[in-house]
Amino acid sequence: MATSYAVTTPIYYVNATPHLGTAYTTVAADALARFERMDGKDVFFLTGLDEHGQKVAESAERNGMTPQEWCDQIAPKFQEAWRQLSISNDDFIRTTEPRHMRGVQAFWTDLYEKGYLYKASYEGWYCIHEETYYTESEVVDIDGEKCCPECKRPLRYNSDGEENWFFKLSEFGDKLLAYYDEHPDFVCPQTRRNEVVSFVKGGLKDLSISRTTFDWGVPLPFDEGHVTYVWIDALLNYITALGYGGNEEEMAEFNRRWPVQYHFVGKDIIRFHCVIWPAMLMAAGLPLPEKVFAHGFLLTKGEKMSKSTGNAVSPADLIAIFGLDAYRYYFLTDVPFGNDGSISMERMVQVYNADLANTWGNLCSRAFNMAVKYFGGKVPELSAEDYAAMEAKHGNPLKEVAEGIYAEYSQAFNNVAFTDVAAAASKLSQRANAYIEEMAPWNLAKDESLGTDLAFVIYNTLEAIRLLACYYAPFMPNTSETAFESIGLSGVTEIVNLEDVSAWGLLPAGNPVTKCAPLFPRLNVADLGLE
List all residues 6 or more positions away from 64 whose beta carbon is below 8 Å from its beta carbon: none
Which residues partner with 165 through β-bridges?
119
DSSP codes, 105-154:
HHHHHHHHHTT-EEEEEEEEEEETTTTEEE-TTT-EEETTEEE-TTT-PB
Nearest-approach distance from CB 445 to ligand ME8, in angstroms: 50
Residue 266 found at the interface with ligand ME8 (CB under 6 A): yes
Task: Give, as one character, the DSSP assignment of residue 352.
Answer: I
Q: Which of residues 190-249 bind ligand ME8 (CB under 6 A)?
A: 234-235, 237
Instruction: Pick the piece of the chain touching ligand ME8 (CB under 6 A) from 6-14, 161-169, 205-213, 497-505.
Output: 6-14
Count residues near ligand ME8 (CB under 6 A).
21
- CB nearer to ligand ME8: give 204 or 276: 276
Nearest-approach distance from CB 304 to ligand ME8, in angstroms: 5
Nearest-approach distance from CB 371 to ligand ME8, in angstroms: 42
- CB nearer to ligand ME8: give 416 or 519: 416
Q: Which of residues 149-178 bind ligand ME8 (CB under 6 A)?
A: none
Q: Out of 6, 7, 21, 132, point to the residue binding ligand ME8 (CB under 6 A).
A: 21
Which amino acid is located at 449 in the chain? S
Q: Are 492 and 480 in contact (CB under 8 A)?
A: yes
Q: Out of 38, 265, 335, 402, point to the residue binding ligand ME8 (CB under 6 A).
A: 265
- CB nearer to ligand ME8: give 24 or 471: 24
- x-or-dash string of contact with ligand ME8, 273-312, rule CB under 6 A: ------------------------xx-----xxx------
Q: How far apart are CA 29 and CA 46, in angstroms?
A: 9
DSSP codes, 309-336:
TT-PPPHHHHHHHH-HHHHHHHHHHSS-
Nearest-approach distance from CB 315 to ligand ME8, in angstroms: 12
Q: Which of residues 104-123 bind ligand ME8 (CB under 6 A)?
A: none
Residue 96 found at the interface with ligand ME8 (CB under 6 A): no
Residue 473 found at the interface with ligand ME8 (CB under 6 A): no
Q: Out of 110, 206, 268, 485, point to the residue binding ligand ME8 (CB under 6 A).
A: 268
Instruction: Pick the piece of the chain touching ligand ME8 (CB under 6 A) from 21-29, 250-258, 443-451, 468-476.
Output: 21-29
Q: How far apart are CA 486 and CA 292, in angstroms?
A: 39
DSSP codes, 362-411:
HHHHHHHHHHHHHHSSBPPP--HHHHHHHHHHH--HHHHHHHHHHHHHHH
Residue 25 found at the interface with ligand ME8 (CB under 6 A): yes
Q: What backbone phi and psi angles, to 5 degrees, belong to 77?
A: -70, -40
- CB nearer to ligand ME8: give 235 or 370: 235
By beta carbon distance, the residue nearest ligand ME8 is 21
Helix ranges (DSSP H) in 220-298: 230-235, 237-240, 248-257, 270-271, 277-284
Nearest-approach distance from CB 142 to ligand ME8, in angstroms: 21
Q: Out of 11, 29, 422, 439, point to the residue binding ligand ME8 (CB under 6 A).
A: 11
Q: What backbone phi and psi angles, to 5 degrees, belong to 474?
A: -60, -30
Instruction: Pick the piece of the chain touching ligand ME8 (CB under 6 A) from 31-39, 176-184, 264-272, 322-330.
Output: 264-272
Nearest-approach distance from CB 145 to ligand ME8, in angstroms: 23
List all residues 6 or more positions away from 376 whose beta carbon is below 8 Å from its beta carbon: none
Q: Out of 22, 96, 105, 502, point to the residue binding ligand ME8 (CB under 6 A).
A: 22
DSSP codes, 470-500:
HHHTTT-HHHHHHHHHHTT---GGG-S-HHH
Nearest-approach distance from CB 6 to ligand ME8, in angstroms: 15
Residue 331 found at the interface with ligand ME8 (CB under 6 A): no
List all residues 6 or more positions away from 185 whose beta carbon is below 8 Å from its beta carbon: 290, 291
Which residues partner with 94 through β-bridges?
49
Phi/psi class of residue 245: alpha, beta or left (left: φ > 0; alpha: ψ in -120 to 50)?
left
Q: Note the residues at the interface with ligand ME8 (CB under 6 A).
A: 10-13, 21-22, 24-25, 50, 234-235, 237, 265-266, 268-269, 297-298, 304-306
